[in-house]
Chains A and B, each alone.
Chain A
Amino acid sequence: GEDVEQSLFLSVREGDSSVINCTYTDSSSTYLYWYKQEPGAGLQLLTYIFSNMDMKQDQRLTVLLNKKDKHLSLRIADTQTGDSAIYFCAENPNRDDKIIFGKGTRLHILP
């Protein structure tokens, strides 16, 4: 079956690193995504990784993929107040196929 699981809440102090974890079940997933949703807004694609990659870095964002364990993580370095949002892990077999989303992790920034 298709399922994406992620923890619901994470609190991090401003300036620290945030790590959001996700597991997925569909072994045919080729693309794995991280989306950001701010209050009252739509979905912003932060980054994605191909299943044949282990890591992808983009400025403050680092994505790690453990394909054997079907585990994906998003690390945000030097977390800022503007990073406060809900982060969705998602996957699909092809980029234009239906996207399967997790329930989202709400990231709260402590001063």
Chain B
Amino acid sequence: DAGVTQSPTHLIKTRGQQVTLRCSPKSGHDTVSWYQQALGQGPQFIFQYYEEEERQRGNFPDRFSGHQFPNYSSELNVNALLLGDSALYLCASSALKETQYFGPGTRLLVL
């Protein structure tokens, strides 16, 4: 059984561009959360999707948006990239009311 998978593993973009990151949840999980981990920091919650709706949102600007598909996979989109968006983006999946499991992350570098 595959765990949480994310793609791509690494990505380089320039300021002002847009990026889409993808996450496939662990089998049997229907809830996907996204976190941003800047260098030297702990992960910070961006938002969570359940039943294709945004269920919770952290303190991130509207440039950060997401989507969940009927197969429970999810995308994180970031528009108008800033240098400060460079980070490791982590996806976590869970079944409702159950423990979250993290994927390996996508490392985004904005130049």
What's the minimum C-beta distance from B47 to chain A, rounded to whole angstroms? Answer: 9
Residues of A within 8 A of B24 (CB): none
**In the assembly, what is the distance between CA of A88 and CA of B45, in Å?**
14
With A98-B48, A100-B45, A102-B42 known as contacts, the answer to whether A42 contacts B97 (CB < 8 A) is no
Q: In the complex the two chains form, is B44's CB within 8 Å of A97's CB?
A: no
What's the minimum C-beta distance from B26 to chain A, rounded to whole angstroms? Answer: 12
Q: In the complex the two chains form, is A98's CB within 8 Å of B105's CB?
A: no
How many B residues touch the partner, as a band?
20 to 34
Q: Which of A96, A98, A104 contacts B45 (CB 8 A)?
A: A98
Q: Which of A35, A42, A101, A104 contacts B103 (CB 8 A)?
A: A42
Q: In the complex the two chains form, is B102's CB within 8 Å of A43's CB?
A: yes
- Chain A interface residue count, CB cutoff 8 Å, equals 21
Most buried by B among A44, A45, A98, A100: A98
With A88-B42, A103-B41, A103-B42 known as contacts, the answer to whether A98 contacts B33 (CB < 8 A) is yes
With A43-B90, A88-B42 known as contacts, the answer to whether A96 contacts B98 (CB < 8 A) is yes
Q: In the complex the two chains form, is B43's CB within 8 Å of A43's CB?
A: yes
Using CB atoms, name the residue of chain A closest to B9. A40
The majority secondary structure among interface residues of chain A is loop
**In the assembly, what is the distance between CA of A14 and CA of B51, in Å?**
47
Q: In the complex the two chains form, is A41's CB within 8 Å of B104's CB?
A: yes
**In the assembly, what is the distance between CA of A45 and CA of B100, in Å?**
9
Q: In the complex the two chains form, is B105's CB within 8 Å of A95's CB?
A: no
Q: Does A94 contact B (CB under 8 A)?
A: yes
Residues of A within 8 A of B94 (CB): 95-96
Q: In the complex the two chains form, is B90's CB within 8 Å of A42's CB?
A: yes
**In the assembly, what is the distance between CA of A104 and CA of B104, in Å?**
17
Give B residues with C-beta under 8 Å from A: 31, 33, 35, 40-45, 48, 56, 58, 90, 92, 94-105
Given A4-B42, A95-B94, A104-B41, 5 more A-B residue pairs with CB atoms under 8 Å apart are A41-B104, A42-B90, A43-B90, A99-B33, A99-B35
